[in-house]
A and B are shown apart, each in its own frame.
Chain A
Amino acid sequence: MFRLKTAVARAAGRLSRRAGRGGGTTVPGRTILRLAPDAIERLSSRLPEGVVLLSATNGKTTTTAMTTTILADRAVCTNAAGANLLTGIASALLATPAAATIGVLEVDEAALPEVVRRVAPRAILLGNLFRDQLDRYGELELLAGRWRAMLDDLAADTRIVVCADDPLLAGLVAGRAHVVWYGIDDASVGRSALDHAADSTSCPRCSTHLSYTAIYLGHLGAYRCPSCGFARPELDVAARSIDVTQADAVSFTVGRVDGANAVTLAVPGIYNVYNAIAAVALAGSIGSAPDVAAARLCTFAAAFGRYERIAIGDRTALLVLVKNPAGANEALRTVAPRLAGSPLLLALNDRIADGRDVSWIWDVDFEPYLTLASVVHCAGTRAADIALRARYAGVPAASIVVHDDLAAAFDAAVDAAGTDGNAVVLPTYTAMLDLRAIVAERGLVTPFWDTGR
């Protein structure tokens, strides 16, 4: 009976895709959960090596893609298209390749406790918690509280792979068993001042303001509480010797000790270093050797819409998803070399998946970066809001263009790039999906639902 139900649900997905309703990344899952509410439990228990789950505010999709890259010798069940709610998880499990032995699934932060309860994962990766979509997730502390309860109920042998540089997460995980701590240990790439949007900078134990010897991203860094002594745990997997001077790549070493396992990633930025070492630590927790992991990461290509380079004739559109202040700050820092003198497209949507509240754009430190661009094109359902933000960031009114139509805005930005030039495109989540649909229609990229690796 269950077999029939899964067949029906898969057929529903095919129909949805044929009907032109997008990737069908959630329809099969929604169908099977209606027919068999315990489908996630049943389907996931069939994977002989079990399931690992990844969650974070930022970096889920990229870290998942990096982990499957590291596990290249296994057939993997994964949700590469980023559908990470219960329905997306069920869809991914339904589409499990016949030879798959292990599941590598990204999970929405709010859905994580429920998914953990259903799949009894072998390992979970907790990457970071940043301020994000308050209208949808509520306050950070609320989400952290739910994760704490989830950790309290976790099966005793579950591995917890966690970013030691996030004090909020360290506070949740410290003292538990089977923990793998990863983080960055290279003060040369650290900053001494926090971004305006930094949250969780007070001690999770005693609320004193934390002091940092290095700040790497948002509130992630090497911290210590001057009052109670709470400090970043010792790192099991560390990134060192980081070189962020390349425009389209970043290199570093990864391992417990210095000098081990050199990696050059074909995507830049500190956040990708975090994603990569998270993937190494997670793969390590299920038996992958760090030297193999490092070698395979050198072959990694960007996940869709995450520092994705799209060739359009003789020019390039550089697509970088931005969805919250911490991610946007880091994206701006990372694209800065490509932004100088180039056209920029900011595409701000306020659909449910983006968050209906666009206030967050005022928390982004746009100020030093937007004036680098030659022109700022603005699009999306809240185009005027992001245009206004650009104006207050010092971009002259004459260099701001507000568009009603996303495709027209994209064309204008690419056109302005000039021969051999690049346009930098920073879209929110649904704007990124729309943009990819536009370029996919023109045959320039593969549709996102076919990005399985």
Chain B
Amino acid sequence: MITIVPVYPQLLSIYADRGNVIVLEQRARWREIDVAVHPIAVGDDLDAANADIILIGGGQDRDQALVADELRRQTPALRSAIADGAALLAVCGGFQLLGHRYRGHQGDEMIGTGLVDLETEAGDGRLIGNVLVEATVNGMRHDLVGFENHAGRTTLGSNVAPLGRVIAGGGNNGLDGLEGCLDGRVVGTYIHGPLLPKNPWLADQLLAWALDRHGVTTSLEPLDDRLAHLAAARAADLARR
């Protein structure tokens, strides 16, 4: 049984982050893998032993500060889940909260979880548009496509790998050509909201990690992903324009 845990979905699903839950759940069901979704709400405690894929989405600025306080409270549970082999996907605002802090325009600071060595600063203007990234996970290269919309500029610590290199679009900060972070099974990205539908390889990677945590190491049965590839090709074209 795989358990998917969206964290504070009521506050952190501004960009249709639910799409990622739908995709993980369906891809497990289509393969007849037992799957359950247990969202945690503000005030709940994360049960590290029963969280195989943890999803942290993006929220409105107003909600982000509220979430930061709550999420810091969960940091020990998040750490122990990760240490125990759980996978984590953090998107946009969630990606920023993986880091040490977010520094606003007025020098105000929002303290993050510090799960990954990275930090974010508010930039001038937002990076908005379709993105194409060449991602490398487990030594395999994949196209990663989607849409970004963020004011934060994120810098990775020197020992943290990016999720990939930007082919077209802004990425972490619009400067170093890097996108997201990859630290063990912790994946962060600025490709917001529903990134898994068009990037089924990443969805399957998360599922494979979750199964591995339960001792299942057989490779996943392939699915008919023609529509996903068609949609991804279109998004990649748009990003390149």
* Interface residues, chain A, with chain B CB atoms under 8 Å away: 131, 134-135, 139-141, 196-197, 199, 201, 207, 209, 325, 350, 356-363, 382, 384-385, 387-389, 391-392, 397, 400, 402
B230 in contact with A359 (CB, 8 Å): no
22 inter-chain pairs at a CB distance below 8 angstroms, sorted by A residue, are A134-B15, A135-B147, A141-B62, A196-B13, A207-B62, A356-B129, A356-B130, A359-B19, A359-B192, A361-B16, A362-B19, A362-B194, A362-B197, A363-B16, A384-B227, A384-B231, A385-B231, A387-B231, A391-B227, A392-B22, A392-B197, A402-B230
A201 adjacent to B10 (CB under 8 Å): yes
Contact A362 B227, beta carbon cutoff 8 Å: no
B79 within 8 A of A: no
Listed from nearest, the 4 A-B pairs whose CB atoms lie closest are: A362-B19, A384-B231, A362-B16, A384-B230
Q: Give the contacting residue for B60; candidates A139, A384, A388, A389; CB below 8 A.
A: A139
Q: Which residue of B lies closest to A386 (CB)?
A: B231
Secondary structure dominating the interface of A: helix
B216 at the interface (CB under 8 A from A): no
Asked whether A363 lies within 8 Å of B18 as measured between CB atoms, the reply is yes
**A135-B128, A388-B198 given; A362·B193 CB < 8 A:** yes
Closest A residue to B20 by beta carbon equals A362
Query: A141-B62, A385-B231, A388-B198 in contact; A131/B14 too (CB < 8 A)?
Result: yes
Q: Does B149 contact A (CB under 8 A)?
A: yes
Chain A contacts for B129, CB-based, 8 A = 356
Complex CA–CA separation, A397 to B19 (angstroms): 18
User: Is B142 at the interface (CB under 8 A from chain A)?
Assistant: no
CB within 8 Å of A: which of B206-222? none
Contact B193 A359 (CB under 8 A): yes
Is B23 close to A, CB under 8 A? yes
Cβ-closest chain B residue relative to A355: B147
Collect the chain A residues with CB atoms within 8 Å of residue B60's CB.
139-141
A145 CB to closest chain B CB (Å) equals 10
Contacts A135-B147, A196-B13, A362-B18 supplied; 17 other A-B pairs, CB < 8 Å? A135-B149, A140-B60, A141-B62, A201-B10, A209-B10, A356-B129, A357-B128, A357-B149, A359-B15, A359-B194, A361-B16, A362-B19, A363-B13, A384-B233, A385-B234, A391-B227, A402-B230
Q: Quick one: which of A359, A387, A402 contacts B16, CB cutoff 8 A?
A: A359
Q: How far is the CA of A140 from the CA of B15 in the complex (A)?
A: 12
Q: How far is the CA of A356 from the CA of B171 in the complex (A)?
A: 17
Which residue of B13, B192, B224, B235 is within 8 Å of A397 (Cβ)? B224
Most chain B CB within a 10 A radius of its CB, from A382, A388, A400: A388
Q: Which B residues are in CB contact (< 8 Å) with A402? A: 227, 230
A-B contact count (CB 8 A): 86
Q: Is B61 part of the binding interface, using a Cβ–Cβ cutoff of 8 Å?
A: yes
Q: How far is the CA of A131 from the CA of B18 in the complex (A)?
A: 15
In the complex, which of the residues B23, B147, B234 contacts A392, with contact meaning CB atoms closer than 8 Å? B23
In this complex, what residue of A is CB-closest to B129? A356
Nearest CB of A to B9, in Å? 8
Bound-state CA distance A292–B56 (Å) is 53
| Residues on the A chain within 8 Å of B13, using CB | 196, 363
Chain B's closest residue to A387 (CB) is B227
CA–CA, A134 and B60, complex, Å: 10
Contact (A388, B231) CB under 8 Å given A135-B149, A139-B60: yes
Q: For residue B193, which residues in chain A have a CB less than 8 angstroms away from its CB? A: 359, 362
Chain B 8-36 interface residues, beta-carbon cutoff 8 Å to A: 10, 13-16, 18-19, 22-23, 26
Contact residues in B for A196 (Cβ distance below 8 Å)? 13, 18
CB of B64 to closest CB in A, whole Å = 10
Interchain CA distance A389-B198 in the complex, whole Å: 10
Q: Is B228 an interface residue (CB 8 A)?
A: yes
Contact present for B230 and A139 (CB under 8 Å) = no
CA distance A140 to B61 in the complex (A): 10
What residues of A have a CB within 8 angstroms of the CB of B224 in the complex? 397
Set A135, A199, A388: member contacting B227, Cβ < 8 A: A388
* B26 in contact with A392 (CB, 8 Å): yes
Answer whether residue B66 sits at the interface, using C-beta atoms and an 8 A cutoff. Answer: yes
Contacts of A382 in B (CB 8 A): 231, 234
| Distance, CA A199 to CA B231, complexed state (A) | 28
Q: Which residues of B contact A361 (CB under 8 A)?
A: 16
In the complex, per-residue mask of B63-86: 1 if CB is within 8 Å of any chain A CB, else 0: 000100000000000000000000
| A138: nearest chain-B partner, CB-CB | B126
Residues of the A chain whose Cβ atoms lie less than 8 Å from the Cβ of B228: 388
Q: Find out whether the CB atom of A357 lies under 8 angstroms from the CB atom of B227.
A: no
Does the CB pair A360–B198 fall under 8 Å? no
| Other-chain contact of A388, B10, B66, B128, B197 (Cβ < 8 Å) | B197
Smallest CB separation, A231 vs chain B (Å)? 20
A363 CA to B58 CA, complexed, in Å: 14
Whole-angstrom CA separation of A392 from B23 in the bound complex:
7
Max chain B C-beta neighbours (<10 A), residue from A199, A363, A400: A363
A196 to B37, CA, bound (A): 14
Interface residue ranges of B156-193 to A (CB < 8 Å): 192-193
Shortest distance from the beta carbon of A140 to any chain B beta carbon, whole Å: 7
A358 smallest CB distance to B (angstroms): 8
Partner of A141, one of B23, B26, B61: B61
Chain A residue with Cβ nearest B233: A384
Q: Enumerate chain B residues within 8 angstroms of A400, measured Cβ to Cβ.
A: 227
**Complex CA distance for A201 and B14, rounded to whole angstroms:** 13
Chain B nearest CB, measured from A204 CB (Å): 10
A135 to B194, CA, bound (A): 15
CB distance from A447 to the nearest CB of B (A): 30
Kindly provide the distance from the CB of B241 to the nearest chain A CB, expressed in whole angstroms.
11
Min CB gap A270→B, angstroms: 23
Cα A357 to Cα B16 in complex, Å, equals: 11
